[in-house]
Amino acid sequence: MPAPLEPGDPRRLGDYDVMARLGEGGQGTVYLCTGPDGVRVAIKLLKGHTDPATQRRLARELEAVKRVAPFCTAQVISFEDRFIVSEFVNGPSLQDRVQHDGPIGGSDLIRLAIGTASALAAIHDAGVVHRDFKPANVLLGPDGPRVVDFGIARQIDAGSSMTAAMGTPGYIAPEQLRGEAVTPASDLFAWAATIVFAATGRHPFGADTVALIYQRILAHEPDVSAVPQNLRPMVEACLAKNPADRPVARDLMVSLVSPQGAAVQGLSTGPKPPLQPDVPRPQTQPIQPLAVALRRRKQAKIAVMTLLAALLAGLVALAFAFWPTGDDTQTTAKPKQTSASAPATPTTIPTGVLEAYAGTWTGTVRNQADSTAQPTNITLTLRPGRTKGTWAAGGCSQDVVFQSAKLDSLTLQHVEIPGQCGGGTITASLKGSTLSYSWTASDKTSTYSGELTKS
């Protein structure tokens, strides 16, 4: 909701008078403004986008955004110099609504799901990927939900590589964390996570450290048991780890409003106007309709269960073949029994650097075996989804190679450069905004530890 202007805020942007603050994010500040005709608009003043090449690129992208049907989005009006002018939606964000009043249920939740799915269908049909769909970017206007903030939206381009560098923890799709291309399917994952938050008041992958959230997104299934049954199949399909298993937004929208598609209660059962078969569905990879996605997930689960059963049968046969008999059984170790209700939790992620660890980290470390030694300056630079980074200590600078990312730490290695750098292993773990750093020499003769901060 509008807040008073602060001392450093502008009082005028182009032809618009600045009236109040609406919010602030990583890309800029959003203001409530009034135009010459007295109509209120929302203006985002961008940070750092001043060079001509960037302005031309933003102008092209926003022209694509302006093609999005305005019925369930905040329409972009213009891009002028360093600010984006869009329609003002008079209502709280979904984030604020749930935090202040609790979860949404019943027909209100159904309307929210349909409205936001329809918005994504319109966005994707215009050839745009939103890339930061989340509760804070859904405004609950007097005429229904509106999707806003296309500040980091991008025009769909099969030749571009959209990585995990942008997005919000908890709503970033697995492929973004793996450094793969961002497509309309990534928006569908974020939509499902948003609906879980709306229905439960909880983040679908927890609210712990960023590293833990990313671990769960990559390796765990979220708890959707509190989502109403009539929405749960669609939510589960959109939360598939493989983007090819998620439905497209248009099929999701149809499933939500069709009694045959989702058995949604309380909606009209009358005939629906047919969709135009020749409307293009821009996407960079084939994405299956909802029914196919659900069937593929079920088939995959059956295949996994069959494989596990075969492996178990083989292990049982092997155990009986070598199981000792007679009195010796009292002194022979037997296999330990494990509870079937407590499956093992994966602790290692077979991927590149997580976004939480990305950036340039600097600080000083000390030799743990010599308290009198002078501290050493460290610079560690990592990029999300990559398997290599750079490391500098004193007069040495070289590449470090990603080894593994466990539940609470990241492991990197670098080899010795004779006469310049000693080889070693780096273990780093996030402690809030600080990186706890430890370097152990390859020969185990020394260990340097300290705290790094992102510069």
DSSP 383-430: -TT-SEEEEEETTEEEEEEEEEEESS-EEEEE--BTTTB--EEEEEEE
Among residues 449, 428, 420, the alpha carbon closest in space to that of 361 is found at 428
- 144 neighbors 187 (Cβ within 8 angstroms): no
Among residues 218, 194, 222, the alpha carbon closest in space to that of 138 is found at 194
Polymer length of the chain: 455
- 264 neighbors 230 (Cβ within 8 angstroms): yes
Among residues 62, 90, 92, 91, the alpha carbon closest in space to that of 77 is found at 62
Q: Which of 17, 51, 132, 443 is catalytic?
A: 132
Q: What burial class does residue 194 get, using C-beta atoms within 10 Å of its C-beta: 0-12 exposed, 13-18 middle, 19+ buried? A: buried
* Beta-bridge partner residues of 259: none
Q: Is 132 a catalytic residue?
A: yes
H helix intervals, 126-183: 174-177
* Type of residue found at 282: P
The residues near 206 (Cβ < 8 Å, ≥ 6 apart) are 170, 212, 213, 216
Among residues 5, 241, 44, 253, the alpha carbon closest in space to that of 152 is found at 44
**In angstroms, rounded to a whole number, what is the distance separating the alpha carbons of residues 86 and 73?**
10
- 285 neighbors 243 (Cβ within 8 angstroms): yes
List active site positions. Answer: 132
